[in-house]
Homo-oligomer: A and B are copies of this chain.
């Protein structure tokens, strides 16, 4: 048995060293892939390409927009983005922090966005995106949440009955 044990130990040691090296390389490769996907997403949204923009979401994705309930299905996500694309003349976002799970199946991206609305007003805020690493190696957005840094503004002009909406 002694030879087998020695041989097995050597194999395990070799495998461990090999996996340590590849794990670090895989981490940086995974982080780059999800960063690149997010940058591409910002570009297609700025180009107002509805199909390409919503294609970044996973099938079970949810959006948590401020001041409205969660959007939990593909049609809802498409409708939300259709309204978004009509409401701004310009959008861009920039991820400042990426955390990839050691297993590489999940990544969290946070950053800031800037928008110019069709009425000329500006908005800026922050976001938290949860990305899923799919079996085909493509990263997809599972959870998308964002909110403005600016003070709350009522959706409709203040007037009689506005308070009743809440």
Contact A126 B70 (CB under 8 A): yes
Which residues of chain B have C-beta atoms less than 8 A from A110's C-beta?
62, 64, 143
Interface stretch (choices A33-41, A44-52, A76-84, A144-152): A144-152
Task: Please tell me if A69 contacts chain B, counting CB pairs below 8 Å.
Answer: yes
Using CB atoms, name the residue of chain B closest to A165: B151
User: When the two chains form the complex, which single residue of B4, B126, B166 contacts A121, counting CB atoms closer than 8 Å?
Assistant: B166
Contact A147 B67 (CB under 8 A): yes
Contact A126 B166 (CB under 8 A): no
Q: How far is the CA of A68 from the CA of B152 in the complex (A)?
A: 9
Which residues of chain B have C-beta atoms less than 8 A from A59's C-beta?
none
Q: Chain A: how many interface residues by the 8 Å CB criterion?
A: 43
Contact A149 B69 (CB under 8 A): yes
Q: How far is the CA of A107 from the CA of B3 in the complex (A)?
A: 43
Residues 61-109 of A at the B interface (beta carbon under 8 Å): 62, 64-70, 99, 101-106, 108
Contact A108 B130 (CB under 8 A): yes
Which residues of chain B have C-beta atoms less than 8 A from A7's C-beta?
4, 7-8
Using CB atoms, name the residue of chain B closest to A65: B147
